[in-house]
């Protein structure tokens, strides 16, 4: 058949750091864009991959992506047998152009146009049988709208090219001048190779420490964890490692607290039940405590710090998680502490407030009054 199949893979922080990233960053086990930003362009400019052989025929590039908001992206492929080119009478390397941060992406594409081979839009799996050259590099770029996000967990580049056409009698290869038959067979070849890789890598799919986000969600389905997509990859790892023990005590106070701590990664989470408040009530503070904690014996509050739930999206996610694991007959309320003192509100010494040292107020233009609220005016 030919040479044994080889590949390059990008799947770690160090791999992506060797590329040039624009408005992309590596976090939580994948390369991702900022979903909170407005309209902006992002790009991944790969390093140069060396096959070690002149006129190498490349096989396939596969991007393992988990995108949100259906973003439009393009993968542009470049190849060459040499990494130097003449520019204004001087030799300049391809790598210098790729990683020159003073050049815009459009300028780089223009300078590299002689090496351009093909571009595919919105395709994460691209066949490269018609691309020849010892060196290959690619550019993945997109212009994202608000709410759209690209997340790349792994990019795999296969070589040398291998076609199922070589398994057939030679007459089929000679008569396939426009490569239609080869491209038609490539559909089934790709399906076969994907299934083969999945079977080969199955042990890694069910290993909690190695599995990607997609397979962690799949494993969560085995344990009946609802809406596992709401958890990040690292949160899912922590959850799955503790899932069996948690499900034994599901519907209890301890389970609610453990789920909250696993999601937030913070041990400082508190659960307050109505009976705990009632036994400390006096006539002087009963109205205030009722206002804060209510008087419903079937209602409880979960209290977390503001650092654990920084956005409205995370607040809604954590609220859903609490409702999923709480006792069926109970009502739950999530309270996020703010780092301010509001008398008559949820202010707890040592949690979201501290007493500082006394200092005299000096109206010298260098001092300011701290932000505090002592109370509200009585409504007439």
pLDDT given for residue 152 in this prediction: 92
SS3 assignment for 63-115: EEECCECCCCEEEEEEEECCCEEEECCEEEEHHHHHCCCCCCHHHHHHHCHHH
Domain ranges of the chain: 6-162, 210-248, 250-380
C-alpha dihedral sign at 157, 158, 160, 162: negative
Per-residue model confidence as pLDDT tens digits over 131-149:
999 999 999 999 888 878 8
Q: Which class would CATH give 6-162?
A: mainly beta
Nearest-10 Cα torsion for 181, 186, 188, 194:
180
C-alpha dihedral sign at 88, 94, 100, 103: positive
Residues in CB range of 10: below 8 A, 6 or more apart: 16, 19, 46, 154, 155, 156
What does pLDDT average to over the chain?
82
pLDDT at residue 98 is higher than 90: yes
pLDDT at residue 41 is higher than 60: yes
pLDDT at residue 360 is higher than 60: yes
Per-residue model confidence as pLDDT tens digits over 243-257:
878 878 878 888 888
Joined tokens for residue 139? 């550019």
pTM over 0.85, yes/no? no
Least confident window among 55-69, 84-98, 187-201, 346-360: 346-360
Q: How confident is the model at residue 380 (pLDDT cuts 50, 70, 90)?
A: very low
């Amino acid at each position: 058949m030919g040479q044994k199949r080889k590949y390059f893979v990008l799947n770690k922080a160090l791999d992506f750091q060797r590329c040039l990233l624009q408005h992309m960053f590596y976090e939580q086990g994948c390369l991702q864009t900022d979903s909170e930003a407005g309209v902006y362009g992002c790009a991944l400019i790969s390093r140069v991959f060396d096959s070690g052989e002149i006129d190498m025929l490349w096989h396939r590039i596969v991007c393992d992506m988990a995108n949100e908001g259906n973003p439009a992206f393009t993968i542009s492929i470049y190849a060459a047998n040499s990494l130097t080119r003449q520019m204004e009478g001087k030799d300049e390397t391809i790598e210098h152009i790729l990683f020159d941060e003073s050049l815009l992406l459009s300028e780089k594409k223009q300078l590299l146009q002689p090496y351009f081979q093909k571009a595919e839009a919105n395709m994460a799996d691209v066949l490269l049988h018609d691309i020849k050259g010892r060196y290959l590099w690619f550019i993945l770029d997109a212009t994202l709208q608000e709410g759209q996000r690209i997340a790349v967990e792994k990019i795999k580049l296969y070589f040398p090219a291998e076609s199922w056409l070589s398994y057939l009698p030679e007459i089929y290869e000679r008569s396939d001048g426009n490569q239609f038959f080869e491209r038609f067979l490539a559909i089934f070849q790709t399906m076969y190779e994907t299934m083969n890789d999945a079977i080969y890598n199955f042990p890694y799919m069910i290993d909690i420490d190695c599995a990607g986000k997609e397979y962690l969600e799949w494993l969560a389905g085995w344990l009946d964890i609802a809406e596992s997509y709401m958890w990040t990859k690292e949160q899912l790892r922590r959850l799955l490692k503790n899932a069996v023990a948690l499900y034994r005590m599901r519907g209890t106070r301890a389970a609610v607290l453990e789920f909250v701590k696993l999601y937030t990664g913070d041990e400082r989470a508190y659960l307050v039940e109505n009976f705990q408040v009632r036994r400390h009530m006096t006539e002087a503070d009963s109205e205030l405590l009722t206002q804060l904690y209510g008087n419903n014996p079937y209602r409880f509050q979960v209290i977390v710090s503001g650092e654990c739930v920084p956005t409205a999206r995370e607040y809604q996610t954590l609220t859903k998680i609490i409702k999923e694991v709480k006792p069926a007959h109970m009502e739950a309320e999530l309270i996020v502490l703010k780092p301010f003192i509001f008398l008559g509100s949820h202010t707890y010494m040592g949690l979201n407030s501290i007493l500082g040292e006394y200092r005299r107020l000096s109206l010298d233009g260098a001092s300011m009054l701290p932000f505090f609220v002592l109370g509200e005016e009585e409504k007439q």
